[in-house]
């Protein structure tokens, strides 16, 4: 372990990417402070880090802070060299008015950046997503890079992805006009899979569970860009440490895309004992289009069907020396976690 006197603030410590980032930072010898919406979450974070192999918590501290309030952000930033801004506002239901999701995302991002600038933080690395990069890209024969941006008014764009585009755009505008000496980098992950340190599983796990437990009777033509959560966490830290990452955004994906059907076939080959109930029957796109007229679930997935978005991870590999694991490794690690946490019975 490299001993470091440098302190890193990680926002939203209970999150899937955040907890893996905290784990890696502690293993690298950094001092870590993390924000939680309630200090009651401390026990959960300790348990997750223990599951990741951490036994010494002397370099970890907590502070209660919420993206929707100014309270405690100045204190959270105090004496921090870096900030990994990973937290997103949480919604238990889809709001009727999109501003209910967009405003907290934009305002929360600006709140963190202002507090970091005012506290003299060296650099903020922010988690955005692929939805801010490639959802307006129509040419399936060309490669999506960090130069691409999603049009926030793109037809069919989810409110969540719209909030991510607008929050990232607001962040770059702030840095240009009011950032002062603060440095800034952005990570744009595709579909995040990999091992979970707790039974609380993210959306990627739910998708794989439905593929494997037989609840998805036929498989729609959906392709995913995939990245392992451990690689996403490492990419945040590389972007934090590298001078070359200043003012840059980085796409996070392992390699090429995989269709849902390809994922099932991979698991039938690698882990046949988990795929006995899994369907390999294709769901024709015209059926989804018809069903979407009266079914909200079909309507939600329709913008993803038959879309081929090929993106490049070359920038992160070239500039930061990032070496992500394969799609196969990310997927199999996810399934192992589904079994470990008894979410998938075999």
Is 80 exceeded by the pLDDT of residue 91?
Answer: no
Residue 71 per-residue DSSP state: T
CA dist., res. 31 & res. 60, Å (int): 6
- SS3 at position 14: coil
Is 90 exceeded by the pLDDT of residue 301?
Answer: no
| pLDDT classification of 227: cutoffs 50, 70, 90 | very high
Is 80 exceeded by the pLDDT of residue 94?
Answer: no
CA dist., res. 112 & res. 89, Å (int): 13
Is 70 exceeded by the pLDDT of residue 92?
Answer: no
Q: What is the reported pLDDT for 298?
A: 79
**Residues 314, 317, 323, 324: is their CA dihedral positive or negative?**
negative
- Tokens of residue 304, six digits: 């993803």
Query: Domains (ranges, CATH) in the chain?
Result: 7-340 (3.40.50.720)
164 is catalytic: yes
What is the percent of the chain with per-residue pLDDT over 90, rounded to a whole number?
82
CA dist., res. 188 & res. 324, Å (int): 14
pLDDT tens readout for residues 228-257:
999 999 999 999 999 999 999 999 999 889
Is 70 exceeded by the pLDDT of residue 1?
Answer: no
Q: What is the reported pLDDT for 255?
A: 86
Chain CA centroid to CA 121, Å: 23
Q: What is the reported pLDDT for 158?
A: 86
- Cβ count within 10 A of residue 272: 10
Which member of 7, 31, 42, 164 is catalytic?
Answer: 164
97-106 in b/e form (b: 16+ CB < 10 A) is eeeebbbbbb
Mean pLDDT for the chain overall = 94
Q: What is the reported pLDDT for 2?
A: 53
CA dist., res. 162 & res. 44, Å (int): 31
pLDDT tens readout for residues 26-58:
999 999 999 999 999 999 999 999 999 999 999
pLDDT tens readout for residues 259-298:
999 999 999 999 999 999 999 999 998 998 898 899 887 7
DSSP states of 113-170 = HHHHHHHT-SEEEEE--GGGTSTT---TTS-B-TT----TT-TT--HHHHHHHHHHHH
- SS3 at position 93: coil
Q: What is the reported pLDDT for 345?
A: 84
What is the percent of the chain with per-residue pLDDT over 70, rounded to a whole number?
98
pLDDT tens readout for residues 159-193:
889 999 999 999 999 999 999 999 999 999 999 99
Is 70 exceeded by the pLDDT of residue 3?
Answer: no
Is 80 exceeded by the pLDDT of residue 7?
Answer: yes
| pLDDT classification of 339: cutoffs 50, 70, 90 | very high
């Amino acid at each position: 372990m490299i001993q470091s006197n440098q302190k890193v603030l990680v926002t939203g410590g209970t999150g899937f990417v955040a907890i893996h980032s905290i784990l890696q930072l502690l293993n690298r010898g950094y001092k870590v402070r993390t924000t939680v919406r309630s200090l009651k979450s401390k026990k959960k974070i300790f348990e997750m880090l223990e599951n990741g192999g951490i036994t010494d918590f002397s370099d970890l501290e907590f502070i209660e802070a919420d993206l929707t309030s100014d309270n405690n952000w100045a204190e959270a930033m105090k004496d921090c060299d870096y900030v990994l801004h990973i937290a997103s506002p949480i919604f238990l239901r889809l709001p009727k008015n999109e501003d209910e999701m967009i405003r907290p995302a934009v305002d929360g991002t600006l709140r963190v950046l202002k507090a970091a600038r005012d506290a003299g933080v060296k650099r903020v690395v922010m988690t955005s997503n692929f939805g801010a990069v490639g959802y307006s890209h129509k040419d399936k024969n060309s490669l999506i890079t960090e130069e691409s941006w999603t049009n926030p008014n793109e037809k069919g764009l989810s409110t969540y992805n719209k909030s991510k585009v607008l929050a990232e755009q607001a962040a770059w505008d702030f840095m240009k006009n009011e950032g002062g000496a603060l440095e800034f980098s952005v990570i744009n992950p595709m579909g995040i899979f990999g091992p979970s340190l707790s039974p609380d599983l993210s959306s990627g796990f739910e998708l794989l569970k439905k593929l494997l437990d037989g609840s998805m009777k036929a498989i729609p033509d959906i392709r995913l860009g995939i990245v392992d959560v451990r690689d996403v966490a490492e990419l945040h830290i590389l972007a934090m440490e590298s001078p070359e990452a200043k003012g840059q955004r980085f796409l996070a994906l392992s390699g090429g895309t995989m269709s849902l059907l390809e994922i099932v076939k991979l698991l039938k080959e690698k882990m046949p004992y988990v795929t006995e109930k899994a369907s390999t029957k294709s769901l024709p796109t015209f059926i989804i289009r018809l069903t979407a007229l009266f079914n909200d679930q079909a309507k939600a997935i329709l913008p993803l069907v038959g879309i081929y978005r090929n993106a490049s991870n070359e920038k992160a590999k070239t500039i930061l020396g990032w070496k992500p694991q394969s799609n196969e490794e990310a997927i199999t690690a996810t399934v192992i976690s589904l079994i470990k946490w008894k979410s998938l019975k075999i």
